[in-house]
Amino acid sequence: MSQTTAKRPLTTLQKNVKKQVIVRLKNEVEYKGKMSNVDSYMNLIMTEAEEHHDGKVIGKFARAILRGNNVLFIKLEDEI
Amino acid sequence: MSQTTAKRPLTTLQKNVKKQVIVRLKNEVEYKGKMSNVDSYMNLIMTEAEEHHDGKVIGKFARAILRGNNVLFIKLEDEI
Amino acid sequence: MSQTTAKRPLTTLQKNVKKQVIVRLKNEVEYKGKMSNVDSYMNLIMTEAEEHHDGKVIGKFARAILRGNNVLFIKLEDEI
Amino acid sequence: MSQTTAKRPLTTLQKNVKKQVIVRLKNEVEYKGKMSNVDSYMNLIMTEAEEHHDGKVIGKFARAILRGNNVLFIKLEDEI
Amino acid sequence: MSQTTAKRPLTTLQKNVKKQVIVRLKNEVEYKGKMSNVDSYMNLIMTEAEEHHDGKVIGKFARAILRGNNVLFIKLEDEI
Amino acid sequence: MSQTTAKRPLTTLQKNVKKQVIVRLKNEVEYKGKMSNVDSYMNLIMTEAEEHHDGKVIGKFARAILRGNNVLFIKLEDEI
Amino acid sequence: MSQTTAKRPLTTLQKNVKKQVIVRLKNEVEYKGKMSNVDSYMNLIMTEAEEHHDGKVIGKFARAILRGNNVLFIKLEDEI
């Protein structure tokens, strides 16, 4: 990897701890909130998060642990 | 991780042992009760728990072991 | 784990060997009987067990090995 | 495990080599015949076996290797 | 395993290299032909094989590698 | 591998970091954009990407981490 | 394996690098083209490939990495 200055995916994920993200799980539900922490398996702590499906808010929670194996992708909200 | 004081997901989970949680499994059923213990695989002991589906209570049990690989997420009920 | 006297999930499971349990598999079928033994993968020996689905008994067997990866949860029948 | 004389699931399985068993796979098909051998992954050699589905015999074979990850449970036919 | 002269499943599989087999995959398709080789993961080389589904031949091929994790079972055609 | 000058799949993937790719996931959705980085598990950072399904753009994002286990294939856009 | 001169599946696969193959994935889609390289996990580089489904060409690409865990089988086109 010496030929590139880009960060590895898990390093980039760590650098976004405490930032807003949108996590989509394999069941197509999305979680929008703060990624309080994450580990190399992509287990996540989400705080002050909304649960979205088909464009609608279907739930809210103060804090939850998402199990990494269910993650499809994590959008980094650079703009937020 | 020296740049953040946030706890890793599994550490946070351990700190919530003996507290109320809501566990959602991949089959969309939720378990609401006390998380008596948990391991790093997210195997859980739930006690005095209700089983919920589509907003209805569909079962109750005194104590059960949930196998970690079925877990979608665990809501930490900070407010309870 | 020094902050809690609760047992880890697999230790609790071991302590219930030779007791009555209800095992639910991912295919929604339940097995009610004696857990003669269990290992850390949640492979189980069930004896004198009934097979239940949708509230009906659909089978019985004297002894069977259940493969752990199919387990959804194991209810410990503290009351039985 | 010093507190119990019960055998671990895989040990019990080994002790039933050369005996009659009924193996149910995740696809709900059952195989009834002699378990000629088995390993710790639950790969099995079945001999002189019948294939059952929905209570009907749908096939027969002299000898086959079943891949362990498909196994739901193995009934030990103590009575046979 | 000293109490039995039966071979372990993977050893038995190796002894059938270059013989006729029927391999059923999880998608219910069967491959009937010569098992030119196999490894411990049940990856197989099949040669001069027919592809069967619902009792009909749906394809033929001279040589193919089947990935082991798709295997449901392998019938050893002792009679062929 | 001394008999060939072709690169191994993961090496080839690394050589395409910072180039345009199309990633298709198992759920049939495609992501078209720059692969900012990738690891050996095929976890990817995609930037300035469009989300496609059935030939239509269904979303856009500035930057996201895709979890490798969901990847079906990655088209390398040599022509772009 | 001393009793046979047949090659192991992964060795055979390596010997077919730079040859024409047909790869069928678990989703029933087939890729027909040159296997530029492959690793032990069956991750493949396919070049100048056509994508087939239900007997029709549904796509083409110059070069792509297929993730090995999706592979059902790889036909070696000895005749091509």
B32 vs F24: CA distance, rounded Å = 37
C1 vs G17: CA distance, rounded Å = 52
Q: Is residue F3 part of a domain?
A: no
Token pair for residue D72?
A: 């739901």
Size of interface C-D (CB pairs under 8 A): 58
Give me the pLDDT at residue G7, please.
Answer: 82
Contact between D33 and D20 (Cβ < 8 Å):
yes
- Counting every residue written for chain C, the total comes to 80
Structure confidence by residue, pLDDT tens digits, F58-80: 999 999 999 999 999 999 987 54
Whole-complex ipTM: 0.89
Model confidence, pTM: 0.90
Q: Is residue D2 part of a domain?
A: no
Give me the pLDDT at residue A4, please.
Answer: 46
> Chain C closest CA to D11's CA: distance in Å?
10
For residue E62, give the 3-state DSSP assignment.
strand
F80 vs B64: CA distance, rounded Å = 55
Give me the pLDDT at residue E12, please.
Answer: 96
Cα C2 to the center of its chain, rounded Å: 28
Cα-Cα-Cα-Cα dihedral sign, residues C51, D36, E21, G29: positive
* C 39-58 near D (Cβ less than 8 A): 39, 43-45
Encode G6-33 in three state secondary structure: CCCHHHHHHHCCCCEEEEEECCCCEEEE
Give me the pLDDT at residue E6, please.
Answer: 67
Quote the Cα angle for E9-E12-E13, to 5°. 85
Quote the Cα angle for F38-F39-F42, to 5°. 80
The pLDDT of E63-79, averaged and rounded, is: 92
Number of continuous H segments (helices) and E segments (strands) in chain A: 1, 5
Residue of chain E minimizing CA distance to G42 = E67
Examine chains B and C and say if they touch (3+ CB pairs below 8 A).
yes
Q: Which residue's entry shows tokens 């999880």?
A: E26
Residue of chain D minimizing CA distance to C60 = D75
> Chain E closest CA to G62's CA: distance in Å?
23
Q: Which amino acid is at B14?
A: Q
Q: Which amino acid is at G71?
A: V
Per-residue pLDDT of chain G (80 residues; tens, 9 = 90+): 344 456 899 999 999 999 999 999 999 999 999 999 999 999 999 999 999 999 999 999 999 999 999 999 999 987 54
The pLDDT of B29-55, averaged and rounded, is: 96
Q: Is residue C17 part of a domain?
A: no
Maximum alpha-carbon separation in chain G = 45
Residue E6 carries which DSSP code? P
The pLDDT of F9-32, averaged and rounded, is: 96
Give me the pLDDT at residue E40, please.
Answer: 95
Give me the pLDDT at residue C6, please.
Answer: 67
- Tell if the CB–CB gap between C37 and D4 is shorter than 8 Å: yes
* B 23-42 near A (Cβ less than 8 A): 26, 28, 42
Q: Is residue E55 part of a domain?
A: yes
* Of residues D65, D59, D19, D61, the one with CA closest to residue D42: D65
> Chain E closest CA to G52's CA: distance in Å?
15
Q: Is residue A2 part of a domain?
A: no
Torsion of CA C5, A45, F51, G57, to 10 degrees: -20
Sequence-separated (6 or more) residues with CB below 8 Å from residue C2: none
Contact between F38 and F44 (Cβ < 8 Å):
yes
Token pair for residue A43?
A: 């287990």
For residue C12, give the 3-state DSSP assignment.
helix
* Of residues B76, B75, B79, B72, the one with CA closest to residue B29: B72
Residue D78 phi, psi dihedral angles, 5° rounding: -60, -30
C54 vs C28: CA distance, rounded Å = 8
Size of interface F-G (CB pairs under 8 A): 58
A63 vs A44: CA distance, rounded Å = 10
Structure confidence by residue, pLDDT tens digits, D19-69: 999 999 999 999 999 999 999 999 999 999 999 999 999 999 999 999 999
> Domain tally for chain C?
1
Parts of chain C with a pLDDT under 50: 1-4, 80
> Chain G closest CA to E66's CA: distance in Å?
4
Measured between beta carbons, the chain E residues lying within 8 angstroms of G71 are: 67
Give me the pLDDT at residue B77, please.
Answer: 83
Which residue range is the domain that position B51 belongs to? 9-76
Q: Is residue A10 part of a domain?
A: no
* Confidence category of residue A45, pLDDT binned at 50, 70, 90: very high
- Tell if the CB–CB gap between E37 and G78 is shorter than 8 Å: no
Q: Is residue C3 part of a domain?
A: no
* Confidence category of residue F5, pLDDT binned at 50, 70, 90: low
Sequence-separated (6 or more) residues with CB below 8 Å from residue C54: none
Residue B9 carries which DSSP code? H
Q: Is residue D72 part of a domain?
A: yes
Contact between E68 and E43 (Cβ < 8 Å):
yes
* Neighbour count for residue D41 (Cβ, 10 Å): 15
Cα E43 to the center of its chain, rounded Å: 9
Checking if the pLDDT of F26 tops 60, the result is yes
Q: What is the CATH number of the domain that holds F27?
A: 2.30.30.100
